[in-house]
Amino acid sequence: EDQVTQSPEALRLQEGESSSLNCSYTVSGLRGLFWYRQDPGKGPEFLFTLYSAGEEKEKERLKATLTKKESFLHITAPKPEDSATYLCAVRNTNAGKSTFGDGTTLTVKP
Amino acid sequence: ETGVTQSPTHLIKTRGQQVTLRCSSQSGHNTVSWYQQALGQGPQFIFQYYREEENGRGNFPPRFSGLQFPNYSSELNVNALELDDSALYLCASRNGAANEQFFGPGTRLTVL
């Protein structure tokens, strides 16, 4: 069974203090690893898809990387508006569903 | 381009009742998935519909059922509501061949 574990559960940063979020996964055959941002009471907002080890994607202050067992979401010089829960999910080659982790809640203080 | 929409936004029901939640998929998307998200947890896959047929189901009992219509909109029906069914219900749509799925804003269901 596919599994996704995210750490830490919560992260508090000062504005401008860079850090990384971790997503460890096990999947029988990776069709894609996804990162989403979720604001309180809202649906997840798609950020990135990664397909194979070594791949990197960037968007503004966010960069996602992928290895065979983990993905990292690096946040460079975060701003208060980056505060949200960041979700990681995997989809395997045999299933249409995505398996999600429980997320990392990021708080960025001004 | 219209994104994924869901209705209603909020719903309060009592234990034992039945509920129907609705989802309109993003234009051009023929695959709809439903997820249940309890507070503080990640979304849990309920089932997926592709061209009006269910083609994947998570670990949810048969009292969770669904439909997809010819215009690819979808319904989630839950019978015999239990207190633990209180959650945010999310609908996501994608083009069948694509990996990326896009979520609606969710329906917050409270069961008393």
- What are the distances in angstroms from CA B11 to CA A90, B5, B6, B89? 30, 16, 12, 11
B16 to chain A, closest Cα gap in Å:
25
Q: Does B108 touch chain A (CB under 8 A)?
A: yes
Share of chain B above pLDDT 90, in %: 85
* Domains contained in chain A, CATH given: 3-109 (2.60.40.10)
The candidate with the shortest Cα–Cα distance to A65, out of A21, A9, A13, is A21
Cβ-proximal residues to A3 (8 Å cutoff; 6+ apart), any chain: A25, A26, A27, A99
Q: Which of B31, B99, B103 sits opposite A31 (nearest CB)?
A: B99
Residues 20-59 of B with CB under 8 A from A: 31, 33, 35, 40-45, 48, 50, 55-56, 58
Beta-carbon contacts of A74 under 8 Å, excluding residues fewer than 6 positions away, are A18, A19, A20, A62, A63, A64, A65
Task: Provide, as residue numbers in chain B, all residues whose Cβ is less than 8 Å from the Cβ of A44.
Answer: 43, 90, 103
CA angle B25, B107, B102 (to 5 degrees): 35
* Pairing mode of beta strands A10-14, A104-109: parallel
Whether the per-residue pLDDT at B28 is higher than 90: the answer is no
What's the average model confidence in pLDDT over B52-73? 94
> B58 CB contacts (<8 Å, ≥6 apart)?
A97, B44, B45, B46, B47
pLDDT of residue A29: 87
The pLDDT assigned to A69 comes to 95
Question: pLDDT, tens digit, for every residue of B102-111?
Answer: 999 999 999 9
A72 in Cβ contact with A65 (< 8 Å):
yes
Per-position pLDDT tens, chain A of length 110 = 899 999 999 999 999 999 999 999 999 889 999 999 999 989 999 999 999 999 999 999 999 999 999 999 999 999 999 999 999 999 988 777 899 999 999 999 99
Mutate to test the interface with B, among A6, A37, A42, A59 (most CBs of B within 10 A): A42
Compute the nearest-CA separation of A32 from chain B (Å).
7
Write down the pLDDT at residue A11. 98
Nearest to B48 among A89, A96, A103 (CB): A96
Per-residue pLDDT band for B99 (boundaries 50, 70, 90) equals: confident
pLDDT at position B86, please? 98
Smallest Cβ–Cβ distance between A43 and the set B44, B56, B105 belongs to: B105
Question: Could you tell me which residue, B92 or A93, shows the higher pLDDT?
Answer: B92
Q: How many Å from the N-terminal Cα to the C-terminal Cα in chain B?
A: 37
Report the pLDDT value the prediction gives residue A96, as an integer from 0 to 100: 73
In the DSSP assignment, the letter for residue B26 is P
pLDDT at B1 over 70: no
Q: Identify the pLDDT of residue A93.
A: 80
Distance from B74 to chain A by nearest Cα, in Å? Answer: 16
DSSP per residue, chain A: --EEEEE-SEEEEETT--EEEEEEEE-SSEEEEEEEEE-TTS--EEEEEE-STT-EEEETTEEEEE-SSEEEEEE-S--GGG-EEEEEEEEETT-S--EE---EEEEEE-
